[in-house]
Amino acid sequence: MTAALSRLAFLGVFALLPLASARQGWPGLTLAVIFVLIPLLDAWVGRPWPNPFAATAPALARWVPRAQLPLQAALLVGAVTMAPTLEAPALIVFALSVGSITGGIGITVAHELGHRARRLDRAIARALLASVGYAHFQVEHIRGHHARVATPDDPATAPLGMHVYRFIARSVRGGFAHAFRLEAMRLAASGRSPWSMANEVISGVVASSLLAAGAFVLGGGPGLSLFLLQALTAVVLLEIVNYIEHYGLRRRRIDGRWEAVAPVHSWNADFTVSNWLLFNLQLHADHHAHMQRPYKALRSMASAPQLPAGYPTMVLAALLPPVWFGWMHSRLPAHPSSPSA
């Protein structure tokens, strides 16, 4: 109970930090916390990985991430209504701060809940993703990425030597197109048209458009600008994390088929602080091995390749390709890939 309440309290404070700090005249404080303080804490606490969620009761563990939806709604409404009071430079920094929460925490929670069987969880996941204009991610990630991970067919797996800027464009374009194809095939199986609200990609675009219209009603041009920039920030942050999670790793073809997904096909980061912040997202090898396993039960896997730092640090490294390649290429498994033919 104490662990869950502590986590819930932290989530509330962290999710609303951009609002509170902007009201005090520090619109960039959230960025400093995520990309300076968290990396420093990761380096200080180190790798030894006691599961930070082990003591959380299962029922409470289910409800903690669900709280992100009302918190994110409060954050976005507050941010959009505050936007007209800010000068352009402060508005941009504020939008980046908001997007670091809607992307770093909101999409992380949507990823967790999107894997659950309960309709409530999947609905919350879709709502969180719609708030950043990326509702199709739930379709592509679960039905596309998990099947094709670490193969050339997966746009969310970065091949060896590709820099992050090229990867982002490829993953955004390829993920949206494949999600639409998946939905078209699903609907065709029951004789329905793909060009309807039954298509989750189309309904997601409509939902995001309505939210953008709401932002304009509440905050005028500045409110709409903030909403769009926070969404762009969240999406870019997600795609950089996608880049990090499987960079340079490739499944082998055996007798004409791709081998089963193994721990060696995902990068792990066993850092306690950033795993606590990100609901164990960095234990990515176990997630791909057991995609229905909840965040509190994910395990560190020694056989997975290990990142030199947690995601907040690695995001910054990815933005500097020479630094990224220097860090990562020496850490790749002995045989990270095989010919794709």
Reported as a single tens digit per residue, the pLDDT across 312-331 is 999 999 999 999 999 999 99
Stretch 13-20: mean pLDDT = 96
Distance CA 144, CA 36 (A): 34
Q: Is the pLDDT of residue 340 over 50?
A: no
pLDDT at 131: 98
pLDDT at 118: 95
- Of the pLDDT bands very low, low, confident and very high (cuts 50, 70, 90), residue 59 is confident
- Work out the average pLDDT over 275-301: 93
Torsion angle of C-alpha atoms 284, 117, 134, 14, degrees rounded to 10: -70
In this predicted structure, what is the pLDDT of residue 6?
76
Residue 333 has a pLDDT of: 86
Q: Taking residues 181-205, what's their average pLDDT?
A: 97
**CA-CA distance, 228 to 151, in Å (whole number)?**
32
pLDDT of 341:
28
Is pLDDT of 225 > 80? yes
Here the tokens at position 279 are 């609901």
Is the separation of the CB atoms in 103 and 238 below 8 Å?
Answer: yes
Question: What number of helices (H) and strands (E) belong to the chain?
Answer: 17, 2
Query: What are the distances in angstroms from CA 168 to CA 19, 68, 208, 281, 300?
Result: 28, 26, 20, 20, 27
Residue at token pair 């939210």: 211
339 vs 27, residue with greater confidence: 27
pLDDT of residue 58: 72
Average pLDDT rounded to a whole number, residues 66-79: 98
Q: What pairs with residue 258 in β-bridges?
A: 253
- The Cα diameter of the chain in Å comes to 63
Structure tokens belonging to residue 240: 């950089």
- How much is the pLDDT for 338? 40
The pLDDT of residue 339 is 37
What average pLDDT does the structure give for the chain? Answer: 93
- Looking at the chain, the whole-number percentage of residues with pLDDT higher than 90 is 87
pLDDT at residue 2 above 80? no
Read off the pLDDT of each residue in 294-305 and give the average, rounded to a whole number: 91
CA distance 107 to 281: 11
- In this prediction, residue 55 carries a pLDDT of 62
pLDDT over 60 (residue 45): yes
Does residue 142 register a pLDDT over 80? yes
Burial 42-60 (b: 16+ CB within 10 A, else e): beeeeeebebbbeebeeee
Question: Among 52-66, 125-139, 167-181, 237-251, whose mean pLDDT is lowest?
Answer: 52-66
Q: Which of 9-18, 164-173, 325-334 has the highest mean pLDDT?
A: 164-173
pLDDT at residue 98 greater than cutoff 70: yes
Record the tokens describing residue 241, joined without a space: 């994390």
Q: Which single residue is written with the structure tokens 């959380």?
A: 56
At which residue do the structure tokens 């234990």 appear?
283
